[in-house]
Structure 1
Protein backbone atom coordinates (compact mmCIF):
# COMPACT_ATOMS: atom_id res chain seq x y z
CA UNK A 1 0.00 0.00 0.00
CA UNK A 2 1.11 3.55 -0.71
CA UNK A 3 1.53 6.16 2.02
CA UNK A 4 -0.62 9.24 1.45
CA UNK A 5 -0.40 12.79 2.83
CA UNK A 6 -0.68 11.66 6.46
CA UNK A 7 1.29 8.96 8.27
CA UNK A 8 -1.96 7.19 9.19
CA UNK A 9 -3.42 7.01 5.66
CA UNK A 10 -2.58 4.47 2.96
CA UNK A 11 -4.00 3.74 -0.46
CA UNK A 12 -3.97 0.79 -2.84
CA UNK A 13 -5.10 0.99 -6.44
CA UNK A 14 -6.10 -0.88 -9.57
CA UNK A 15 -5.85 0.54 -13.10
CA UNK A 16 -9.11 0.51 -15.07
CA UNK A 17 -8.28 0.28 -18.77
CA UNK A 18 -11.85 1.11 -19.87
CA UNK A 19 -11.67 4.57 -18.26
CA UNK A 20 -7.86 5.01 -18.22
CA UNK A 21 -7.87 5.87 -14.51
CA UNK A 22 -6.98 4.21 -11.25
CA UNK A 23 -9.59 2.94 -8.82
CA UNK A 24 -8.53 3.47 -5.20
CA UNK A 25 -9.09 2.07 -1.74
CA UNK A 26 -8.13 3.80 1.51
CA UNK A 27 -6.83 2.47 4.83
CA UNK A 28 -6.99 4.71 7.90
CA UNK A 29 -4.78 3.41 10.70
CA UNK A 30 -6.09 3.86 14.23
CA UNK A 31 -4.98 2.52 17.60
CA UNK A 32 -8.60 1.52 18.23
CA UNK A 33 -8.80 -0.45 14.96
CA UNK A 34 -8.14 0.31 11.32
CA UNK A 35 -10.80 1.40 8.82
CA UNK A 36 -10.82 0.35 5.15
CA UNK A 37 -12.86 2.30 2.61
CA UNK A 38 -14.15 0.72 -0.63
CA UNK A 39 -11.50 -2.03 -0.55
CA UNK A 40 -10.26 -3.49 -3.81
CA UNK A 41 -8.68 -6.95 -3.87
CA UNK A 42 -5.35 -7.00 -2.03
CA UNK A 43 -2.19 -8.29 -3.65
CA UNK A 44 -0.05 -10.62 -1.56
CA UNK A 45 2.24 -7.69 -0.84
CA UNK A 46 -0.61 -5.39 0.23
CA UNK A 47 -2.24 -8.11 2.31
CA UNK A 48 1.04 -8.67 4.19
CA UNK A 49 1.41 -4.91 4.60
CA UNK A 50 -2.14 -4.56 5.99
CA UNK A 51 -1.55 -7.40 8.43
CA UNK A 52 1.69 -5.75 9.61
CA UNK A 53 -0.31 -2.56 10.26
CA UNK A 54 -2.93 -4.33 12.37
CA UNK A 55 -5.54 -5.62 9.90
CA UNK A 56 -8.98 -4.00 9.86
CA UNK A 57 -11.89 -3.53 12.27
CA UNK A 58 -14.33 -1.80 9.92
CA UNK A 59 -14.94 -1.66 6.18
CA UNK A 60 -16.96 1.30 4.92
CA UNK A 61 -18.59 1.01 1.49
CA UNK A 62 -19.61 4.35 -0.07
CA UNK A 63 -22.10 2.81 -2.52
CA UNK A 64 -23.13 -0.62 -3.82
CA UNK A 65 -20.94 -0.26 -6.92
CA UNK A 66 -17.90 -0.12 -4.60
CA UNK A 67 -18.43 -3.41 -2.77
CA UNK A 68 -15.33 -4.68 -4.56
CA UNK A 69 -13.51 -7.16 -2.26
CA UNK A 70 -15.27 -6.14 0.96
CA UNK A 71 -16.71 -9.56 1.76
CA UNK A 72 -13.45 -11.41 1.18
CA UNK A 73 -11.43 -8.93 3.24
CA UNK A 74 -14.02 -8.99 6.03
CA UNK A 75 -13.71 -12.78 6.18
CA UNK A 76 -9.91 -12.57 6.34
CA UNK A 77 -9.76 -9.80 8.95
CA UNK A 78 -12.97 -10.22 10.95
CA UNK A 79 -13.91 -6.63 10.07
CA UNK A 80 -17.51 -5.46 10.22
CA UNK A 81 -19.05 -3.74 7.19
CA UNK A 82 -20.91 -0.43 7.06
CA UNK A 83 -22.82 0.92 4.05
CA UNK A 84 -25.32 3.65 3.04
CA UNK A 85 -28.72 3.69 4.73
CA UNK A 86 -30.20 4.83 1.42
CA UNK A 87 -29.52 1.40 -0.10
CA UNK A 88 -30.71 -0.67 2.84
CA UNK A 89 -33.56 -2.31 0.93
CA UNK A 90 -31.48 -3.34 -2.09
CA UNK A 91 -27.87 -3.76 -0.90
CA UNK A 92 -26.61 -7.08 -2.30
CA UNK A 93 -24.48 -8.18 0.66
CA UNK A 94 -24.97 -8.50 4.40
CA UNK A 95 -24.22 -5.29 6.33
CA UNK A 96 -23.43 -4.83 10.03
CA UNK A 97 -24.23 -1.12 10.25
CA UNK A 98 -26.21 1.27 8.07
CA UNK A 99 -24.90 4.83 7.86
CA UNK A 100 -27.09 7.92 7.60
CA UNK A 101 -26.13 11.54 7.11
CA UNK A 102 -24.08 12.88 10.00
CA UNK A 103 -23.33 9.50 11.55
CA UNK A 104 -19.92 9.24 13.15
CA UNK A 105 -18.57 5.85 12.11
CA UNK A 106 -15.77 6.09 14.64
CA UNK A 107 -14.50 9.25 16.34
CA UNK A 108 -13.16 11.56 13.63
CA UNK A 109 -14.89 9.92 10.65
CA UNK A 110 -18.30 11.30 9.65
CA UNK A 111 -20.70 10.08 6.96
CA UNK A 112 -22.20 12.62 4.55
CA UNK A 113 -25.13 11.46 2.44
CA UNK A 114 -25.09 12.57 -1.19
CA UNK A 115 -28.11 12.74 -3.48
CA UNK A 116 -28.54 12.50 -7.22
CA UNK A 117 -25.71 10.05 -7.89
CA UNK A 118 -26.20 6.68 -9.54
CA UNK A 119 -27.11 4.95 -6.27
CA UNK A 120 -29.38 6.35 -3.53
CA UNK A 121 -27.70 7.82 -0.48
CA UNK A 122 -24.11 7.46 -1.69
CA UNK A 123 -21.69 8.41 1.07
CA UNK A 124 -18.78 10.81 1.23
CA UNK A 125 -16.63 10.55 4.36
CA UNK A 126 -15.11 13.48 6.24
CA UNK A 127 -11.94 12.56 8.12
CA UNK A 128 -11.02 14.88 10.97
CA UNK A 129 -12.50 17.89 9.11
CA UNK A 130 -9.63 18.22 6.62
CA UNK A 131 -9.74 15.15 4.35
CA UNK A 132 -12.78 14.30 2.24
CA UNK A 133 -13.09 10.77 0.85
CA UNK A 134 -15.48 10.27 -2.08
CA UNK A 135 -16.88 7.24 -3.87
CA UNK A 136 -18.40 7.80 -7.32
CA UNK A 137 -20.10 11.21 -7.52
CA UNK A 138 -16.90 13.25 -7.17
CA UNK A 139 -13.92 11.92 -9.12
CA UNK A 140 -10.91 13.21 -11.03
CA UNK A 141 -9.93 12.05 -14.50
CA UNK A 142 -7.27 14.79 -14.79
CA UNK A 143 -4.71 15.68 -12.15
CA UNK A 144 -5.38 18.86 -10.19
CA UNK A 145 -9.12 19.02 -10.90
CA UNK A 146 -12.31 17.35 -9.80
CA UNK A 147 -15.32 16.33 -11.89
CA UNK A 148 -18.79 14.91 -11.47
CA UNK A 149 -19.95 11.48 -12.48
CA UNK A 150 -21.08 11.81 -16.14
CA UNK A 151 -24.63 13.09 -16.62
CA UNK A 152 -25.76 9.81 -18.21
CA UNK A 153 -25.06 8.01 -14.92
CA UNK A 154 -26.57 10.60 -12.58
CA UNK A 155 -30.03 9.95 -11.15
CA UNK A 156 -30.61 13.71 -10.80
CA UNK A 157 -28.04 16.33 -11.84
CA UNK A 158 -29.70 19.10 -9.81
CA UNK A 159 -29.55 17.05 -6.62
CA UNK A 160 -26.00 15.98 -7.42
CA UNK A 161 -24.86 19.58 -7.77
CA UNK A 162 -26.63 20.49 -4.53
CA UNK A 163 -24.70 17.70 -2.81
CA UNK A 164 -21.41 19.01 -4.20
CA UNK A 165 -22.28 22.53 -3.05
CA UNK A 166 -22.74 21.13 0.43
CA UNK A 167 -19.30 19.49 0.26
CA UNK A 168 -17.82 22.77 -1.01
CA UNK A 169 -19.00 24.47 2.18
CA UNK A 170 -16.64 22.30 4.26
CA UNK A 171 -14.15 25.10 4.77
CA UNK A 172 -11.36 23.07 6.37
CA UNK A 173 -11.11 20.48 3.58
CA UNK A 174 -7.68 20.58 1.98
CA UNK A 175 -7.43 17.03 0.60
CA UNK A 176 -9.97 15.10 -1.51
CA UNK A 177 -9.27 11.38 -1.83
CA UNK A 178 -11.36 10.03 -4.71
CA UNK A 179 -12.45 6.48 -5.40
CA UNK A 180 -11.83 6.98 -9.12
CA UNK A 181 -9.00 8.99 -10.67
CA UNK A 182 -6.50 11.46 -9.19
CA UNK A 183 -6.43 12.51 -5.55
CA UNK A 184 -6.27 16.24 -4.76
CA UNK A 185 -3.80 17.00 -1.96
CA UNK A 186 -4.07 20.80 -1.76
CA UNK A 187 -6.87 23.37 -1.99
CA UNK A 188 -9.55 20.70 -1.88
CA UNK A 189 -12.32 23.14 -0.99
CA UNK A 190 -11.40 25.36 -3.95
CA UNK A 191 -11.52 22.38 -6.32
CA UNK A 192 -14.97 21.45 -4.96
CA UNK A 193 -16.15 25.03 -5.40
CA UNK A 194 -15.07 24.91 -9.06
CA UNK A 195 -17.51 22.03 -9.59
CA UNK A 196 -20.36 24.24 -8.43
CA UNK A 197 -19.66 27.06 -10.90
Structure 2
Protein backbone atom coordinates (compact mmCIF):
# COMPACT_ATOMS: atom_id res chain seq x y z
CA UNK A 1 0.00 0.00 0.00
CA UNK A 2 1.05 3.57 -0.62
CA UNK A 3 1.43 6.28 1.99
CA UNK A 4 -1.03 9.08 1.31
CA UNK A 5 -0.91 12.69 2.50
CA UNK A 6 -1.09 11.75 6.20
CA UNK A 7 0.99 9.29 8.18
CA UNK A 8 -2.16 7.43 9.21
CA UNK A 9 -3.62 7.10 5.69
CA UNK A 10 -2.68 4.49 3.10
CA UNK A 11 -4.14 3.44 -0.22
CA UNK A 12 -3.99 0.83 -2.93
CA UNK A 13 -5.19 1.02 -6.51
CA UNK A 14 -6.14 -0.96 -9.58
CA UNK A 15 -6.07 0.36 -13.15
CA UNK A 16 -9.35 -0.08 -15.01
CA UNK A 17 -8.79 -0.57 -18.73
CA UNK A 18 -12.40 0.16 -19.71
CA UNK A 19 -12.44 3.59 -18.05
CA UNK A 20 -8.73 4.31 -18.44
CA UNK A 21 -8.29 5.38 -14.83
CA UNK A 22 -7.42 4.00 -11.42
CA UNK A 23 -9.83 2.70 -8.81
CA UNK A 24 -8.74 3.39 -5.23
CA UNK A 25 -9.16 2.08 -1.71
CA UNK A 26 -8.26 3.90 1.51
CA UNK A 27 -7.03 2.66 4.89
CA UNK A 28 -7.20 4.83 8.00
CA UNK A 29 -4.89 3.53 10.73
CA UNK A 30 -6.32 4.54 14.09
CA UNK A 31 -6.43 3.53 17.73
CA UNK A 32 -9.55 1.54 18.40
CA UNK A 33 -9.44 -0.29 15.08
CA UNK A 34 -8.49 0.52 11.51
CA UNK A 35 -11.07 1.54 8.90
CA UNK A 36 -10.92 0.54 5.22
CA UNK A 37 -13.06 2.28 2.61
CA UNK A 38 -14.19 0.59 -0.64
CA UNK A 39 -11.55 -2.16 -0.55
CA UNK A 40 -10.28 -3.58 -3.81
CA UNK A 41 -8.89 -7.11 -3.75
CA UNK A 42 -5.53 -7.11 -1.96
CA UNK A 43 -2.30 -8.45 -3.35
CA UNK A 44 -0.28 -10.72 -1.07
CA UNK A 45 2.09 -7.82 -0.43
CA UNK A 46 -0.70 -5.39 0.45
CA UNK A 47 -2.45 -7.95 2.64
CA UNK A 48 0.77 -8.39 4.60
CA UNK A 49 1.20 -4.62 4.84
CA UNK A 50 -2.36 -4.28 6.13
CA UNK A 51 -1.72 -6.88 8.81
CA UNK A 52 1.50 -5.13 9.86
CA UNK A 53 -0.51 -1.93 10.35
CA UNK A 54 -2.99 -3.66 12.64
CA UNK A 55 -5.47 -5.24 10.26
CA UNK A 56 -8.96 -3.85 9.84
CA UNK A 57 -11.96 -3.55 12.16
CA UNK A 58 -14.47 -1.76 9.93
CA UNK A 59 -15.06 -1.78 6.18
CA UNK A 60 -17.13 1.11 4.83
CA UNK A 61 -18.67 0.72 1.37
CA UNK A 62 -19.83 3.97 -0.21
CA UNK A 63 -22.20 2.34 -2.72
CA UNK A 64 -23.14 -1.10 -4.02
CA UNK A 65 -20.90 -0.75 -7.09
CA UNK A 66 -17.88 -0.50 -4.76
CA UNK A 67 -18.26 -3.79 -2.89
CA UNK A 68 -15.14 -4.93 -4.74
CA UNK A 69 -13.08 -7.09 -2.37
CA UNK A 70 -15.04 -6.27 0.80
CA UNK A 71 -16.61 -9.67 1.36
CA UNK A 72 -13.28 -11.50 1.10
CA UNK A 73 -11.52 -8.96 3.31
CA UNK A 74 -14.23 -9.31 5.96
CA UNK A 75 -13.98 -13.10 5.80
CA UNK A 76 -10.19 -12.94 6.17
CA UNK A 77 -10.12 -10.43 9.03
CA UNK A 78 -13.46 -10.55 10.83
CA UNK A 79 -14.05 -6.88 10.03
CA UNK A 80 -17.59 -5.51 10.19
CA UNK A 81 -19.13 -4.15 6.99
CA UNK A 82 -21.00 -0.83 6.97
CA UNK A 83 -23.06 0.25 3.95
CA UNK A 84 -25.42 3.02 2.78
CA UNK A 85 -28.80 2.82 4.50
CA UNK A 86 -30.80 3.65 1.39
CA UNK A 87 -29.56 0.46 -0.28
CA UNK A 88 -30.44 -1.84 2.62
CA UNK A 89 -33.14 -3.73 0.69
CA UNK A 90 -30.99 -4.42 -2.39
CA UNK A 91 -27.38 -4.39 -1.16
CA UNK A 92 -25.42 -7.41 -2.41
CA UNK A 93 -23.63 -8.01 0.91
CA UNK A 94 -24.75 -8.50 4.49
CA UNK A 95 -23.94 -5.37 6.49
CA UNK A 96 -23.44 -5.05 10.23
CA UNK A 97 -24.53 -1.41 10.21
CA UNK A 98 -26.40 0.84 7.81
CA UNK A 99 -25.16 4.42 7.56
CA UNK A 100 -27.43 7.46 7.41
CA UNK A 101 -26.68 11.08 6.62
CA UNK A 102 -24.36 12.68 9.20
CA UNK A 103 -23.76 9.41 11.05
CA UNK A 104 -20.46 9.35 12.92
CA UNK A 105 -18.94 6.03 11.86
CA UNK A 106 -16.13 6.28 14.39
CA UNK A 107 -14.93 9.46 16.10
CA UNK A 108 -13.72 11.82 13.39
CA UNK A 109 -15.33 10.07 10.42
CA UNK A 110 -18.72 11.40 9.26
CA UNK A 111 -20.97 10.00 6.52
CA UNK A 112 -22.70 12.33 4.06
CA UNK A 113 -25.55 11.01 1.92
CA UNK A 114 -25.42 11.99 -1.75
CA UNK A 115 -28.68 12.07 -3.68
CA UNK A 116 -29.09 11.65 -7.42
CA UNK A 117 -26.06 9.46 -8.12
CA UNK A 118 -26.32 6.11 -9.89
CA UNK A 119 -27.14 4.26 -6.65
CA UNK A 120 -29.49 5.44 -3.88
CA UNK A 121 -27.92 7.25 -0.94
CA UNK A 122 -24.30 6.96 -2.04
CA UNK A 123 -21.96 8.04 0.75
CA UNK A 124 -19.09 10.48 0.90
CA UNK A 125 -16.96 10.43 4.05
CA UNK A 126 -15.36 13.38 5.81
CA UNK A 127 -12.28 12.48 7.85
CA UNK A 128 -11.39 14.86 10.66
CA UNK A 129 -12.96 17.79 8.77
CA UNK A 130 -10.10 18.00 6.25
CA UNK A 131 -10.11 14.91 4.00
CA UNK A 132 -13.12 14.10 1.83
CA UNK A 133 -13.34 10.52 0.55
CA UNK A 134 -15.73 9.98 -2.34
CA UNK A 135 -17.19 6.92 -4.06
CA UNK A 136 -18.63 7.33 -7.55
CA UNK A 137 -20.38 10.69 -7.92
CA UNK A 138 -17.33 12.94 -7.51
CA UNK A 139 -14.36 11.79 -9.59
CA UNK A 140 -11.08 13.11 -10.97
CA UNK A 141 -10.38 12.05 -14.55
CA UNK A 142 -7.77 14.79 -15.11
CA UNK A 143 -5.16 15.55 -12.49
CA UNK A 144 -6.20 18.47 -10.27
CA UNK A 145 -9.73 18.89 -11.64
CA UNK A 146 -12.79 17.21 -10.17
CA UNK A 147 -15.77 16.10 -12.23
CA UNK A 148 -18.96 14.11 -11.70
CA UNK A 149 -20.60 11.15 -13.37
CA UNK A 150 -22.20 12.01 -16.72
CA UNK A 151 -25.91 12.79 -16.72
CA UNK A 152 -26.82 9.47 -18.32
CA UNK A 153 -25.37 7.66 -15.28
CA UNK A 154 -27.24 9.79 -12.73
CA UNK A 155 -30.63 8.92 -11.30
CA UNK A 156 -31.42 12.62 -10.81
CA UNK A 157 -28.93 15.21 -12.16
CA UNK A 158 -30.51 18.10 -10.23
CA UNK A 159 -30.23 16.27 -6.90
CA UNK A 160 -26.69 15.18 -7.77
CA UNK A 161 -25.63 18.78 -8.36
CA UNK A 162 -27.24 19.82 -5.06
CA UNK A 163 -25.26 17.07 -3.28
CA UNK A 164 -21.98 18.26 -4.81
CA UNK A 165 -22.68 21.86 -3.82
CA UNK A 166 -23.49 20.75 -0.27
CA UNK A 167 -20.06 19.10 0.02
CA UNK A 168 -18.34 22.10 -1.59
CA UNK A 169 -19.83 24.30 1.13
CA UNK A 170 -18.12 22.35 3.90
CA UNK A 171 -15.30 24.43 5.41
CA UNK A 172 -11.68 23.42 5.63
CA UNK A 173 -11.39 20.55 3.15
CA UNK A 174 -7.77 20.12 2.12
CA UNK A 175 -7.71 16.74 0.35
CA UNK A 176 -10.20 14.89 -1.83
CA UNK A 177 -9.57 11.17 -2.22
CA UNK A 178 -11.74 9.95 -5.06
CA UNK A 179 -12.76 6.35 -5.56
CA UNK A 180 -12.16 6.72 -9.31
CA UNK A 181 -9.40 8.78 -10.89
CA UNK A 182 -6.71 10.95 -9.33
CA UNK A 183 -6.48 11.92 -5.65
CA UNK A 184 -6.12 15.59 -4.71
CA UNK A 185 -3.84 15.95 -1.71
CA UNK A 186 -3.94 19.75 -1.57
CA UNK A 187 -6.37 22.57 -2.43
CA UNK A 188 -9.36 20.26 -2.20
CA UNK A 189 -11.78 23.03 -1.26
CA UNK A 190 -10.77 25.11 -4.27
CA UNK A 191 -11.29 22.13 -6.59
CA UNK A 192 -14.71 21.45 -5.07
CA UNK A 193 -15.68 25.10 -5.49
CA UNK A 194 -14.60 25.06 -9.14
CA UNK A 195 -16.62 21.91 -9.70
CA UNK A 196 -19.70 23.35 -8.00
CA UNK A 197 -19.50 26.54 -10.08
CA UNK A 198 -19.24 24.51 -13.28
CA UNK A 199 -22.45 22.56 -12.71
* TM-score (norm. length: structure 1): 0.99
1:106 counterpart residue number: 106
Provide the secondary structure at the position in 1 that maps to 2:145: coil
Q: For residue 125 of structure 1, report the CA deviation from its aligned partner.
A: 0.1
2:97 counterpart residue number: 97
The C-alpha deviation readout for 1:73-102, integer Å capped at 9, x for no partner, is 001111000000010111111000000001
Is 1:175 paired with 2:175? yes
Is 1:126 paired with 2:96? no
CA distance in 2, matches of 1:80, 1:129: 24
1:42 counterpart residue number: 42
Is 1:5 paired with 2:5? yes
1:63 counterpart residue number: 63
Provide the secondary structure at the position in 1 that maps to 2:65: helix
* TM-score (norm. length: structure 2): 0.98
Q: For residue 13 of structure 1, report the CA deviation from its aligned partner.
A: 0.2
CA distance in 1, matches of 2:56, 2:186: 28
Is 1:84 paired with 2:81? no
CA distance in 2, matches of 1:28, 1:55: 10
CA distance in 1, matches of 2:17, 2:92: 26
Matched residues, number: 197
CA distance in 1, matches of 2:5, 2:190: 18
Q: For residue 47 of structure 1, report the CA deviation from its aligned partner.
A: 0.3
Cα RMSD (Å) of the superposition?
A: 0.5
Provide the secondary structure at the position in 2 that maps to 1:47: helix
2:145 counterpart residue number: 145
The C-alpha deviation readout for 1:121-150, integer Å capped at 9, x for no partner, is 000000000000000000000000100011
Which consecutive aligned stretches of 4+ in structure 1 deviate over 2 angstroms post-superposition? Answer: none
**Structure 2: segments with no counterpart, 5+ residues:** none
Q: For residue 187 of structure 1, report the CA deviation from its aligned partner.
A: 1.2
